[in-house]
Structure 1
Amino acid sequence: MLLVQNIRLSRILRNTWQVDLIMIASCTAAYFVREYLIAHHFEIPSIIPTVLGTAIAFFIGFNNNQAYDRWWEARKVWGSLVNDSRSFTRALINYVDKDDEIVKRMVCRHIAFLYALKASLRGAVDEIYTKYLTTEDLAEIEKHNNVHNALLNIQSRDLQKLSKANSIDGFRFIEINEMLTRFSDSMGMSERIKNTIFPTTYTYLTKVFIWLFVVSFTLVISKEAGIASIFLGWMIGFVFVSTQINGMSLVNPFENNSAGVPLNQITRTIEINLLQMLEENDIPEPIKPINDEYVL
C-alpha cells in the first residue's frame, strides 16, 4: 500500500515503458504512412479519434471503479479481521476460567490462521505460522489442503472442550463461536476476491481502443503538427495508458506489490497486539515501510 501523496515519475515510467515504446513505434509508423501514402489521397476525419477517446474514457472509468471496489472490499475484510482478532483474544483471556493453557494455545493458533491465510492469498510458500502450532496441530493440518480452514476447525473443537469442562458459560460460548464464524466469513470473502477473475474482455478491449486511438490521433494531427505529431500522439496515449495501468494494479488486491492490501503489516500488527495481550516477552518488530514509499 502506497504511503506517499506524490508518486515519482520514474515509478510510472517503470510500469509503462514497454507500452510507451509500442506507442512511439505506432505513432512513428502512423506519421510516415500518412505522410507518404495517404496524404495525397484522402483526409482522416477528426471524428474518429474523438469517438474512440470517448469510448476509452468509459472503459477506463468502468475498469478503475471495479478495480477499486475489489481493493476496498479486501481492505475492509482485513480491517474486520483486525477488530475481530482483538475481540476474540480479549474474550478468551477474560471469559475462560481455569484453562490458561488452552487459551494461549487458541490465541497462538489464531495468529497461525492469519499467517496461513495470508500465504494462501498471496500464493506464497510462507510457513511462519508453524511456530505458533503444537506438534498435534501440525500433524492434523497435514491432512488438509486448506490449512487455515483446518485451523478454524481445531479452534471450534477446543472451544467445545472448554464448554464441556465448564470453563465457559453458554452465552460466552455462543459469543466466541460467533467470532469463529466471522473469521470463516472473512476467509471466504478473501478467497472469493482472489479467485474471481476480472473480466479479461474489458482490459483487452481497453488496450485495443487505446492503440487505435493513438494511431488515429497521430494520423489526424500530423497534417498540422508534422513530425511533432509522434510526440503528441505518445503523450495523449501515455495519459490513457497510465490511468488504465493504475486502475489494473488494484484488480488483485492481495498481490505482493506496492498497490496491494498490506497483508504483512496487518498480520504483524495483529500478532503484536495478541502477544502483548498474552503478556509475552518475545514481541516481533512492526513492519517498516520500504523506502518510506509503501508497505507490503
Structure 2
Amino acid sequence: MLIVQNIRLSRILRNTWQIDIIMIISCTGAYLAREFLIKHHFELPSIIPTVLGTAIAFFIGFNNNQSYDRWWEARKIWGALVNDSRSWARCMVTYISANEMSEQEFNALKSNLVRRHIAFLYALKANLRSAVDENYHKYLSEEDLLEISSHTNVPNAILTLQSRDLQQLSTDGRIDGFRFMEMNQLLVKFSDEMGMSERIKNTIFPTTYNYFTKVFIWLFVVSLTLVISQYAGLWSIFLGWLVGFVYVSTQINGMSLVDPFENNSSAIPLNQITRTIEINLLEMIGAQDIPKPVKPINREYIL
C-alpha cells in the first residue's frame, strides 16, 4: 500500500512505458497515414474522437469504481480480522479457568491457542498471495503440523484444530456455556472472513471490461491524432500521446487495485497487518520472542 502523498514520476513511467511506446508508434502511424494516404481524400470528423473520449471516460470510471470496491472490501475484511484476533487472545487470557492444572501447563494451554491463531493468519496470507510462506510453521506443534499436512486448505484445517480444542475446554469445565458460545462465534467469524477473502481472490475481474477499455483507448488515440494533425502538424503525435497518457494512467491506476491481495505496492499491506496482529497477541500472552514491526520500503509503500 502506498503511504506517500506524491507519486514519483519514475514509478508512473515504470508502469506505463510499454504502453507509452505503443501509443507513440500508433500516433506516428496515424499521422503518416493521414499525410500520405488519406489527406487528399477525406478528413476524419472531429465528432468521432469526441464520442470515443466520452465513452472511454465512462468505461474507465466504472472499472475504477469496481476495482476500488474490491480493494476496500478486502481492507475491511482484514480490519475485522485485526479486531477479532485481539478479542480471541483476550478470551484465551481471561476466560479460561485453570482448575487443577499447574501454572506452567495453564500458560502453555493459553499460549498454544493464541500462537495457533497467528499460524492461521500467516497460512491465510500465504493462500491469498499464492505464496509458500513457512512462517506459520513456527507457531504450530509437531502434532498440529502432522495433522494439517493432509489438508489442501491449511488455514481451514487450523480453525478445525481450534474448534476441537475449544470443545475440549468446554468438556473439561474450563469455560462455561456462555463463554463457549462467545469464543465459538469468533471462530465462525474467522471462517467467514477467510471465505470472503477467498471469494475476492478467486473471483476474476471481468476480462472484457479491461480488454474493451484498452481497445477503445487505442482507437481514441489514433482518431484524435488523425483529427488534430490537420491543425497541429507533427505536434499531433505528441498531443495524441499526451491525451492518451492521461486515459491510460487512469485506467492502469484502477486495474492495479483489482487484485487486493497481490504482493505489490498497490495491494493491501498483509505483511504489516499480520505482523501487527502477531505483535499484539504475543504481548498479550507475555511472550518474549516478539518480532519488529514491518517497515516501509523506500519510505514509499508497505507490503
TM-score where L is the length of structure 2:
0.97
Equivalent position of 1:28 in the other structure:
28
**SS in structure 2 of the partner of residue 234 of structure 1:** helix
Q: Does 1:232 align with 2:236?
A: no
* Structure 1 Cα separation of the partners of residues 59 and 244 of structure 2: 15
In the TM superposition, residue 102 of structure 1 has moved relative to its aligned partner by 2.0
* Structure 1 Cα separation of the partners of residues 140 and 134 of structure 2: 11
- 1:77-104 CA deviation, whole Å, 9 max, x = no partner? 0000000000010011100011432221
Equivalent position of 2:64 in the other structure:
64
- 1:9-47 CA deviation, whole Å, 9 max, x = no partner? 110000000000000000000000001111111010000
Equivalent position of 1:167 in the other structure:
174
Equivalent position of 2:6 in the other structure:
6
Q: Contact 1:214/1:234 (CA < 8 Å) preserved in 2?
A: yes
Equivalent position of 1:264 in the other structure:
271
Q: Does 1:85 align with 2:85?
A: yes
Q: Does 1:115 align with 2:122?
A: yes
* Structure 2 Cα separation of the partners of residues 16 and 152 of structure 1: 43
Equivalent position of 2:19 in the other structure:
19
**SS in structure 1 of the partner of residue 287 of structure 2:** coil
Aligned length: 296
Q: Does 1:220 align with 2:237?
A: no
* Structure 2 Cα separation of the partners of residues 125 and 100 of structure 1: 31
Equivalent position of 1:96 in the other structure:
96
* Structure 2 Cα separation of the partners of residues 28 and 136 of structure 1: 66
User: Which amino acid is the alignment partner of residue 201 of structure 1?
Assistant: T
Q: Contact 1:152/1:184 (CA < 8 Å) preserved in 2?
A: yes
* Structure 2 Cα separation of the partners of residues 175 and 126 of structure 1: 31
Q: Contact 1:23/1:237 (CA < 8 Å) preserved in 2?
A: yes
* Structure 2 Cα separation of the partners of residues 199 and 143 of structure 1: 34
Q: How does 1:172-191 map to 2 (within 5 A)?
A: 172-191=179-198
Which segment is superposed worse, 63-72 or 102-111? 102-111
Q: What percent identity do the matched residue pairs reach?
A: 73
Equivalent position of 1:295 in the other structure:
302
User: Which amino acid is the alignment partner of residue 71 of structure 1?
Assistant: W
- CA RMSD of the aligned region, Å? 0.5
* Structure 2 Cα separation of the partners of residues 160 and 202 of structure 1: 48
User: Which amino acid is the alignment partner of residue 57 of structure 2?
Assistant: A
Aligned counterpart for 1:150 among listed residues 141, 152, 157 = 157
Equivalent position of 1:52 in the other structure:
52
Which segment is superposed worse, 100-109 or 88-97? 100-109
* Structure 2 Cα separation of the partners of residues 22 and 143 of structure 1: 49
* Structure 2 Cα separation of the partners of residues 4 and 227 of structure 1: 38
Q: How does 1:128-143 map to 2 (within 5 A)?
A: 128-143=135-150
**SS in structure 1 of the partner of residue 131 of structure 2:** coil
* Structure 1 Cα separation of the partners of residues 279 and 227 of structure 2: 60
User: Which amino acid is the alignment partner of residue 134 of structure 1?
Assistant: S
Task: For structure 1, list consecutive stretches of 5 or more residues without a partner in the other structure.
Answer: none
- 1:247-292 CA deviation, whole Å, 9 max, x = no partner? 0000000000000010000000000000000101111000000000
**SS in structure 1 of the partner of residue 67 of structure 2:** helix
Aligned counterpart for 1:248 among listed residues 236, 242, 255 = 255
User: Which amino acid is the alignment partner of residue 74 of structure 1?
Assistant: A
* Structure 2 Cα separation of the partners of residues 111 and 49 of structure 1: 55
* Structure 2 Cα separation of the partners of residues 31 and 92 of structure 1: 71
In the TM superposition, residue 143 of structure 1 has moved relative to its aligned partner by 1.1
**SS in structure 2 of the partner of residue 42 of structure 1:** coil
- 1:174-208 CA deviation, whole Å, 9 max, x = no partner? 00000000000000000000000000000000000
Q: Contact 1:102/1:158 (CA < 8 Å) preserved in 2?
A: no
* Structure 1 Cα separation of the partners of residues 125 and 21 of structure 2: 36
**SS in structure 2 of the partner of residue 106 of structure 1:** helix
